[in-house]
Amino acid sequence: MKNLIFDLGDVIIPIDLTAPVRNFAMLANLPEDEVWAIWKQHDFINRYETGLIDDMAFRTQIRQLLKNDSWADEVIDTAWNTVLLELPVERVERIKELKKDYRLFLLSNTSPIHIKHVNGVLASLNQPTLEDLFERVFYSYEVGMAKPSPDIYQFVLSEAGLEATETAFFDDNGANIKAAAALGIQAVQVQPPKTILDYLRDI
């Protein structure tokens, strides 16, 4: 194995996918299930994470959908970032160790607001940014594609000049794992109670 590709959420940083909805529901004084329904109906998060809309349009959409024009950008960003839980620094340390022997990459369905936040957290822990931690980072919003589309994996392989058979991919999502495995990548599903550290122990 020569190359390791990591997902970000629930692989490097723990996440709580329900937290932003809970927080926006609280801010808007709406029931949570109503906010979930709005999210599903408008599918704007997917458009944001594939770069079809930018930060400003994303925030505007939230203000419109939740009928609150007075929310400052920071209020929206803070609620949106509650998806990201505390970052276990030992995971970052392990990745830094692996850098000596492997080519390391990051592949994440994410948004600019989240990446800015994670890099801020890393800085506060005296750790390198994601862009410095990995040889290359592939964010869905920058490449205009998202997992589990086979196109995004093909893009990463060709951009970085990787052989699928020499590459391991770590992700928590079953559909993402299946799509990567179909291309010959050694795909490993990170599932609790195990963490990425358990899967990297034998490497």
CA–CA distance, 36 with 24 (Å, rounded to integer): 10
Q: What is the DSSP code (8-state) at residue 31?
A: -
- The per-residue pLDDT for 55 is 98
Tell me how far the alpha carbon of residue 2 is from its chain's centroid.
23
Tell me the two tokens of residue 168. Answer: 């391991």
Helix, strand, coil distribution of the chain in percent, nearest 5? 50, 15, 35
- The per-residue pLDDT for 203 is 82
What is the mean pLDDT of the segment spanning 49-59? 98
48 with 56: CB under 8 angstroms?
Answer: no
Query: What is the full DSSP assignment across 122-158?
Result: HHHTT---HHHHSSEEEEHHHHT--TT-HHHHHHHHH
- The per-residue pLDDT for 202 is 81
What is the mean pLDDT of the segment spanning 156-167? 98
Percent of the chain scored above 70 by pLDDT? 100
Q: What is the DSSP code (8-state) at residue 166?
A: G
- The per-residue pLDDT for 35 is 97
What is the mean pLDDT of the segment spanning 118-131? 98
User: Considering Cα of 10, then 83, then 64, then 30, what sign does the dihedral take?
Assistant: positive
- Phi, psi at 169, each rounded to 5°: -130, 130
CA–CA distance, 35 with 25 (Å, rounded to integer): 6
Per residue in 169-195, pLDDT (tens digit) is 999 999 999 999 999 999 999 999 999
CA–CA distance, 157 with 196 (Å, rounded to integer): 22
